[in-house]
Structure 1
């Protein structure tokens, strides 16, 4: 009991710093692969905590190792820290100072919380059994992402388990969502170029109209979801860009389409390119057009290890009470934490930050996104209790 009270007091002492750090990051966002000042701030704070071995596995990422005086497991905790190319529409005093750049996905909170965890746990080097590895990842928002680079740089060498959380405003503050099995979708990107024959808009009979053909493709691609995939499965295919033309009276030569495909099963993911090309080719052939089709696998699905998930659920229930835990299905969004959890067993949870009474209702990636900062305290307690139960208690 005395140890728990001591830990609770240390957490309480750090809590306000976490909020201050989060607001600093929010005010000074940096885009993927450009997190120079963010990583410097984090590096300097980690140095000030003491007992850490700190390195830059890549140009703008950081790894801090807290190696205990006793043998045990190597437990890694990861947080991302990059911002998005979004113009912020909030009006609080710590809103973004950078035009067109905003922390609209909670990564400012993730980095701040992990700093808080590192500060608390740095007090327990003598008691620590094994190693805690704090991974501050760059470039989660921009595929191919920073996680693969960090894995290639060796940050997972010797790691036994890896953990991460994501602050979300579709989850109410005070709740933590944990998915059994697959926790997030695989996210792939595609590009389609339809090559027709341009001409004057008054004589469409002399053209091969790529706009009309592309419109048919956009519409018919949705038949894959409704007729090629079981209704028991969840798949999303979205065409998000349609680029064509340069004058009101000219039918262009080409149209370019782009979009994404999100899946929860490897076998379905593998079939999607062939399903798509069958439709693209058939429509283009029917109209005498040509096409180019490019399909690129993006982030893999996050798959929560069953044994570790059960440990996480027990930790949440014991730390906050059973009412905090929500057992949910996977989110349709994607995350490159999968690069870490593909290497070793891991678990990824969602920390609630929505508060209707405070007007904190806007989703991640929205220009008015913000969080109930109580979510930072919950995330801090969650990760510290994970760490304590794994390497100290």
Structure 2
């Protein structure tokens, strides 16, 4: 039972009072989505709200990120709370009154929800700063959805200086509102992209013997690439190699000079990133020799996989479970990538799952008709705030 004057009850009261404003902010951001690092308007909305609740935001961190600090003035751990702000290049099909006004851009991953959620937690934690010890850094990040990482840019600008641990979060439309989830241990996948240009010799389709066909070589290579995961990676280690694009030729009866493949590699184990890259390079060398072509292979290393810290999971589970009377639930890992993992490489980190399912709908992330339930904003803000208070409880209270 939550007592009327307990920290949980205070958090609920603060966030419920702010909920109409948080929903309005979310809808404003949804109507004006911005992509990658070009989130100047969104960052301005965030900074204005932080100032309104009594904080002093720092803008332009990692190009267009925003940070603010809640410092209790008492010794204790330094916790970072992170939300992402950017949208996706998707044409919205929801028909909502606050649908995107920016052609070809949409908050189809719920980063508008995330931004509003962290603003709610910021207000509660700032007003309750006498209830805990230590420091909280609020991190509002651009460019989570792009290869050029906003987390990397903000880290380079010092967002992790002095930070001891970090909490991120993501909405999940598969889970009902009020459901919180976690992945134990390895939570998601690393993401590496590759391109292979295969160069042959063009010629007439009726005289293939006078040409070197890069399309046939590419087709052969695509099939060979699929043997890397099935025959070289430990079957107990999750991994997937996907060729997402193949480009070559312009008409029916001409063998072209070149063909290009583009793809991605996802895995959870660092050693498999090296193994798969070496295997792709070896197969390219084999295709060159066997099919009389040349290959130019490039691999761009992306973000690593995230390992959720067990102590942070335990704190979230206890704080949220005690307040709501229901446990946070385990969810399976995935090979989806998330640049919060760059933070997890440097400090203990955990990404909390927040249910956002709208009753009667079957929504999925990155979908043009994505319509999450806005009740998840306040509930998520309460869950984040409870977790922060549990992690930053004064030592005397922690011992009790």
**Who is 2:116 aligned against?**
112
Q: Distance in 2 between matches of 1:115 and 1:381?
A: 11
Partner of 2:81: 77
Change beyond 3 A, Cα 1:381–1:170: same
CA contact (8 A) 1:221 1:276 kept: yes
Within a 5 Å distance, the mapping from 1:1-393 to structure 2 comes to 1=3, 2-3=5-6, 4-323=8-327, 325-355=328-358, 357-359=359-361, 361-392=362-393
Per-residue CA deviations over 1:199-251 (Å, capped at 9, x if unaligned) read 12222221111111101111221111211123222111110111111222211
Per the normalisation by structure 1, the TM-score is: 0.95
Per-residue deviation, 1:336: 0.4
Q: Which runs of 5+ in 2 are unaligned?
A: 395-400
Per the TM alignment, residue 318 of structure 1 is displaced from its structure 2 partner at its CA by: 1.7
Structure 2 Cα separation of the partners of residues 27 and 192 of structure 1: 39
1:232-281 Cα deviation digits (max 9, x unpaired): 22111110111111222211100111110000111112211111122222
RMSD (CA atoms): 1.6
Size of the alignment, in residue pairs?
390
Cα deviations by residue, 1:282-310 (Å, 9 ceiling, x for unpaired): 12321111100011110111111122222
Change (3 A) 1:196 1:171: farther
How much does 1:392 deviate?
4.8
Give secondary structure in 2 for the equivalent of 1:362.
coil
Segments of 5+ residues of structure 1 without an aligned counterpart are none
TM-score, length of structure 2 as denominator length: 0.93
**Aligned residues of 1:281 and 1:291 also touching (Cα < 8 A):** yes
Closer, same or farther: CA 321–331 of 1 in aligned 2, 3 Å: farther
Aligned counterparts of 2:10 and 2:247: Cα–Cα separation in 1: 60
**Secondary structure in 2 aligned to 1:291?**
strand
Q: Which secondary structure state, in structure 2, belongs to the residue aligned with residue 281 of structure 1?
A: helix
Change (3 A) 1:250 1:203: same
